[in-house]
Amino acid sequence: MPTFIASFLLLLLPTIGWTAAENDVTQSTDAISKVIVAVIIVGLFVALFRDRYHRTLIAFVAAALILCITYLTPYHLLSLPRAITEAIGWEGFNVILLLLSMMAIIGVLATTNVFPWAMEHIMECSGNIPRV
């Protein structure tokens, strides 16, 4: 799950600092917004590097900071361009839901030790002889 969140944030990074006009996409020239985003990203990587808190928590805090700053202050850090939102559509949303549900199932199976049990069962059936 943390890798999905990190990859989702990496997908959002090119859109951070972009503003959408009616039909075109222009890059924001607001230096303060860019500095805020840079500080959040550097803080994200420093926190991930120090490995003091869980990676999922760190990613959620960084995303929440970006969203809170975007919607509660005059600095609009995140503005998805119109073309990207139209390109994603419902098909992209369905794929994202599929990936999230698959990762949730894998997470539950991993915590219930299904994978070690399956490995032991396969080794017993093969007679403990690994075949490559």
Which tens digit of pLDDT belongs to each residue from 74-121?
A: 777 776 565 466 656 666 777 878 888 999 999 999 899 999 999 888
pLDDT confidence of residue 24: 42
pLDDT confidence of residue 75: 76
Q: Who contacts 28 (Cβ-Cβ below 8 Å, separation ≥6)?
A: 17, 18, 19, 34, 76
Instruction: Indicate the SS3 state at residue 55.
Output: helix
16 DSSP assignment: B
pLDDT confidence of residue 26: 39
CA 73 to chain centre: 23
Q: How confident is residue 71, by pLDDT bands cut at 50, 70 and 90?
A: confident
Q: How confident is residue 21, by pLDDT bands cut at 50, 70 and 90?
A: very low
CB 40 within 8 A of CB 59: no
